[in-house]
Amino acid sequence: MANSPAPAKPAIKIICKNKKAFFDYHIEDRYEAGLALLGSEVKSIRAGHVSLGEAYAKFSEGANPELFLVNAHVAEYAWANRNNHDPLRPRKLLLHHRELAKLSHQLDIRGLTLVPLSLYFKCGKIKLELGLGRGKKNFDKREALKSRTAQRDIDRGE
């Protein structure tokens, strides 16, 4: 019986990463979300003009809460017309209802934060990886720096 080839993984092209999130938070769980974007935003993201440094995810108020990405900077697209997008506008995140309910519950009960970790293309669509994180204290950050430096010295052979 012939072995069939393994199914191919979808091609992922990383657009930007939020390295500061791993320094400031203990990431406990990860989620993948789609984004509701305008055409000029997609073109600007394809060009790599996006920053997740100050961004976070937040639920809207109301009877049917939705999740939004706040403070993510997507630069204006240079070749768009005068109806260009606002660089800091809140962008709706697309998740299943059960995932939204689970996230809402964890944010309320456990006091966690939703932090964007990376933005990437997957099968031609722009996806955002969210991390459910607990904030680190200053001594945790210092300990992480010490362990990273020690590991770097071991790898160098010093």
Q: What angle do CA 104, 114, 95 make, to 5 degrees?
A: 60
What is the pLDDT averaged over residues 117-124? 90
d(CA 17, CA 52): 7
Q: pLDDT tens across 23-55, in order?
A: 888 888 899 999 998 888 888 888 888 988 888
Q: How many CB atoms lie within 10 A of CB 91?
A: 21
pLDDT of amino acid 2: 59
Tokens of 123: 């099968």
Q: pLDDT tens across 59-114, in order?
A: 888 778 889 999 988 888 888 777 788 788 899 999 999 998 888 888 888 878 89
Across the strands, what pairs with 134?
A: 26
pLDDT of amino acid 120: 92
pLDDT of amino acid 158: 64
Predicted confidence (pLDDT) at residue 116 exceeds the cutoff of 90: yes
Tokens of 52: 């997740």
Predicted confidence (pLDDT) at residue 128 exceeds the cutoff of 90: yes
Position 77, amino acid:
Y
The domain defined by 14-150 folds into Small Protein B; Chain: A; (2.40.280)
Output the CA–CA distances (angstroms, integers) from residue 47 to 3, 7, 50, 127, in the order listed. Answer: 41, 30, 9, 15
pLDDT of amino acid 87: 80
Task: Could you list the beta-strand ranges (E) of 75-152.
Answer: 91-94, 113-122, 125-135
Domain spans of the chain?
A: 14-150
pTM value is 0.78
Stretch (H or E) spanning 34: strand 25-35
